[in-house]
Structure 1
Amino acid sequence: MLRLARTRPDGLDALLRMEETPDVARWLGDTGRPWHEQVLADPRQTHWTAFHRDRPVGFAVVVTHPGPETEIRRLVVDPRHQGFGHGRELLREVLRRAGAASPAGRIFLDVRPENTRARALYAAEGFTDSARIDSAYGPLVVMARAGDPPAGGGTE
């Protein structure tokens, strides 16, 4: 079972190591300490670290937009911890918290078209393709779903 906690600046080193692995880096746009520090300083963004047995195994960045819309900007599981269901569990917990924060809103994310593993996970959790866009990092598929009803909880 994963435990989510807001990311602290002193916890970034472990997350940066996850991003630097080739299996993760190839799917990301901007990365690095300045990117994460900017996220931590932005009140519209929430940076979560996922812990399994008190060790960081992944993280997520969520942005609240007007509308209400929520964007899952980043969802990463350390490659050494993939294949154990942590990605699905992290996504579900992020969705639960996003749904509690904006129950009537739309939740969306973007993913590279060739990232079939991630796209299959998102589709299994109710996301559907809603657009294709060209970005500075290449083509992306925008996937979206309606907001979830509040399930208690909220932010930690």
Structure 2
Amino acid sequence: MVVVLREITDDNRDSVLELHVSPGQERFVSSVRGSLREAAEYPHAKPWYRAVYADGEPVGFVMLSWNVEPRPPEIHGPWFLWKLLVDERHQGRGHGFEVVRQIAELVAAEGATELLTSYVPEDGGPAGFYERLGFVPTGESDPDGEVLMRLALPWTPAGRLPA
């Protein structure tokens, strides 16, 4: 499996916008369309986003706040994994793990010493996924009740995660 992060262009926009999580996961991550709307609404959060491709097929979406001046509680950073969506048909194949690995390498190369993210603390959410990757809770929550987590960089995964 080759996972590549690609810019969203006129050529791939429609296929990326069609990606979605299962109905039970919609409370944990917004749609690609909703994420792009947030990026436009919060340019000061320096959104950096890419389509996730596996073996040439769009399978997900990722968005970061890229080296932003933190302004809690609205903006976390400087490096914040804002959105990670893997289409429901492509989950459980290691795509999310590979995206986080690539993002960790990208931001570490820019001088980042940590990557932050957050999650909705409800059953069925992504907390376990992030914990398996090595993210640890910071002890803080955002105004919406999302738990903030930190991944120390540089990060060397211990190998492939079990599905």
| Paired positions, count | 144
Unaligned runs of 5+ in 2: 71-76, 156-163
Looking at secondary structure, tell me which structure has more helix per residue.
Answer: 1
Cα pair 1:60 1:94 within 8 Å, conserved: no
Q: Is the 8 A contact 1:24 1:79 kept in 2?
A: no
Q: TM-score, normalised by structure 1?
A: 0.76
Q: Give me the identity figure in percent.
A: 22
TM-score (norm 2): 0.73
Task: Compare the two structures and name the one with the higher strand fraction.
Answer: 1
> Greater CA deviation, 68-77 or 36-45?
36-45
Once the two structures are superposed, the pairs formed by residues 1-156 of structure 1 within 5 Å of their partners are: 1-19=2-20, 21-29=22-30, 31=31, 33=33, 35-36=35-36, 39=39, 42=43, 44-64=46-66, 65-66=68-69, 69-104=78-113, 106-114=114-122, 116=124, 118-130=126-138, 131-135=140-144, 139-148=145-154
How much is the aligned-residue C-alpha RMSD, in angstroms? 2.7
After TM superposition, give the deviation of residue 33 of structure 1 in Å.
3.5
User: Which consecutive residues of structure 1, in runs of 5 or more, have no partner in the other structure?
Assistant: 150-156
